[in-house]
């Protein structure tokens, strides 16, 4: 959410941003509703001032004047009630449009309709060339008996999976390694709710817009999160943080759920796009300072790059274009890891700067040393998300005999096991 004064002063910029982000929002109507909101509010305040004056004057009136004055005040009450009804209707329409207003983007952001306009910024590592017929991760998982899609489908339907034996141990070790890795970077680890209230999703900018992607628990009027970002960001809602405590660096592990509505078979093979997954997320709450946010964005990005390098995972970094970034994103990079079965890179990390978009919705502020109160900036990025990261991990580390070499950094988390082999 943006400041309405900023929207009014930069209406053309907001309209241009909405077009570039493929967002439909009527800024002209929003400003009209804001005018009505202020006009009606002023009328209500004038009526209340009139009633206050009446209350002070009433005891001094003659008996015959009191009767007439009371009738006049009843008319004022009726007018005030009607104006309050009008104000509530205008506020509802105003709020609905405010939730759709996009955050302007960093000048570095390329303009484009979809991910085809994302620009590659850098690469690390050399994609492996196999001297044998390489398998994809599903074949590897089935042959090694560490992934079971058939049984999972009977239990949970399409896009379900079961990790077995060393597959489950590899995932658990990877997640624990990611937690230790990010904690060594100075982040505070959290275990957060994955069942949340609607305000948390509106506050982080997932609603409106991602309702079709989100699992709804109708009986309880609650939702399952698609990322722990929702819970971490909401941690300091309606709080004023002391400036000396910023930036706050958090990381959280959570199970995540996404309906993947609208994918229509795209990337649904194997473990790449599933309904239930696990993720370690990194999140920063910082001062309202563009230069600091830029440095912290690079910090989050470097953390994920360092993790992938420690796994010897080739990757590339993309500058995400306007049409492929969310409503609240100011600047965004994706990291794509090399996936041999695709003969291409596939997204495994997403790093975003949102400036004060989320903090205004969640009312997260900080008090400067001079006493002035400002809205914070927020940033987030993936540390690791599984099972998707298992796609490149299994495929890049396969051997000719069908075994998987476990990356060295993960071996201590798997009882120093070096390979995953087919059980006799």
Residue recorded with tokens 């230790």:
180
Phi and psi angles of residue 367, each rounded to the nearest 5 degrees, phi first: -100, 120
Span 369-398, pLDDT tens digits: 999 999 999 999 999 999 999 999 999 999
Find all residues with CB under 8 Å of 368, minimum gap 6, and list them: 243, 374
d(CA 415, CA 166): 11
pLDDT of residue 292: 98
- Mean pLDDT across 307-311: 98
Q: Which residues are catalytic?
A: 258, 273, 347, 350, 388
Residue with the bigger pLDDT between 62 and 402: it is 402
Q: In the chain, what are the domains?
A: 4-98 (1.10.287.40), 115-420 (3.30.930.10)
CA-nearest of 290, 199, 277 to 238 is: 199
Least confident of 29-33, 68-72, 117-121: 68-72
d(CA 266, CA 192): 31
For residue 254 the two structure tokens come to 């959570």
Q: Which residues, listed in sequence order, are joined to residue 281 by a DSSP beta bridge?
A: 252, 382
Span 329-364, pLDDT tens digits: 999 999 999 999 999 999 999 999 999 999 999 999
d(CA 154, CA 371): 60
Calculated CA dihedral for residues 292, 298, 300, 306, nearest 10 degrees = -150
pLDDT of residue 266: 58
Which DSSP string do the residues of 287-315 spell out, in sequence order?
-S-HHHHHHHHHHHHHHHHHHHHHTT--E
For residue 240 the two structure tokens come to 């004023």
Contact 153, 345 (CB under 8 A): no
Q: Give the Cβ contact number of residue 207 at 10 Å.
A: 18
Q: Give the chain's mean pLDDT.
A: 95
Residue recorded with tokens 């049984």:
151
Contact 377, 285 (CB under 8 A): yes
d(CA 413, CA 175): 10
d(CA 166, CA 161): 15
- Mean pLDDT across 89-94: 97
Helix or strand run (H / E) with residue 374 = strand 373-375
Q: pTM value?
A: 0.92
Span 268-300, pLDDT tens digits: 689 999 999 999 999 999 999 999 999 999 999
Beta strand ranges found along 42-175 (DSSP E): 119-124, 147-148, 162-163
């Amino acid at each position: 959410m943006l400041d309405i004064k900023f929207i009014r002063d930069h209406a053309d910029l907001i309209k241009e941003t909405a077009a570039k982000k493929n967002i439909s929002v009527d800024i002209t109507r929003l400003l009209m509703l804001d005018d009505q909101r202020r006009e009606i509010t002023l009328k209500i305040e004038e009526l209340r001032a009139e009633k206050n004056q009446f209350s002070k004057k009433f005891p001094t009136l003659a008996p015959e004047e009191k009767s007439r004055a009371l009738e006049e005040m009843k008319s004022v009450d009726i007018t005030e009630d009607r104006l309050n009804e009008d104000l509530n209707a205008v506020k509802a329409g105003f709020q609905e449009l405010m939730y759709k207003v996009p955050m302007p983007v960093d000048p570095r952001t390329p303009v484009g309709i979809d991910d085809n306009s994302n620009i590659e910024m850098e690469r690390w590592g050399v994609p492996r060339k196999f001297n044998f017929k390489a398998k994809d991760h599903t074949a590897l998982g089935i042959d090694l008996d560490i992934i079971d899609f058939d049984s999972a489908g009977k239990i949970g339907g399409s896009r379900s999976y079961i990790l077995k034996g060393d597959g489950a141990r590899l995932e658990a070790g990877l997640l624990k390694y990611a937690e230790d890795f990010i904690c060594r970077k100075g982040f505070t680890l959290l275990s957060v709710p994955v069942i949340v209230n609607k305000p948390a999703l509106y506050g982080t900018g997932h609603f409106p817009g991602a309702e079709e992607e989100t699992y709804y628990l109708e009986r309880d009027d609650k939702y399952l999160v698609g990322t722990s970002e929702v819970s971490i960001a909401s941690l300091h809602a309606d709080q004023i943080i002391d400036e000396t405590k910023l930036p706050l660096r958090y990381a959280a592990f959570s199970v995540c759920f996404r309906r993947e509505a609208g994918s229509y078979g795209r990337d649904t093979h194997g473990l790449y796009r599933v309904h239930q997954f696990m993720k370690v997320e990194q999140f920063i709450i910082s001062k309202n300072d563009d230069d600091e946010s830029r440095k912290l964005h690079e910090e989050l990005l470097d953390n994920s790059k360092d993790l992938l390098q420690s796994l010897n995972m080739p990757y590339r970094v993309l500058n995400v274009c306007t049409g492929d970034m969310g409503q609240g994103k100011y600047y965004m990079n994706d990291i794509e890891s090399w996936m041999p079965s695709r003969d291409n890179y596939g997204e495994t990390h997403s790093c975003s700067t949102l400036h004060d978009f989320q903090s205004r919705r969640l009312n997260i502020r900080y008090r400067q040393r001079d006493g002035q109160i400002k809205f914070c900036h927020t940033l987030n990025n993936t540390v690791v998300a599984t099972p998707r990261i298992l796609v490149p991990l299994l495929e890049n580390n396969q051997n000719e005999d069908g075994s998987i070499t476990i990356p060295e950094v993960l071996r201590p988390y798997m009882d120093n096991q070096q390979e995953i082999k087919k059980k006799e």
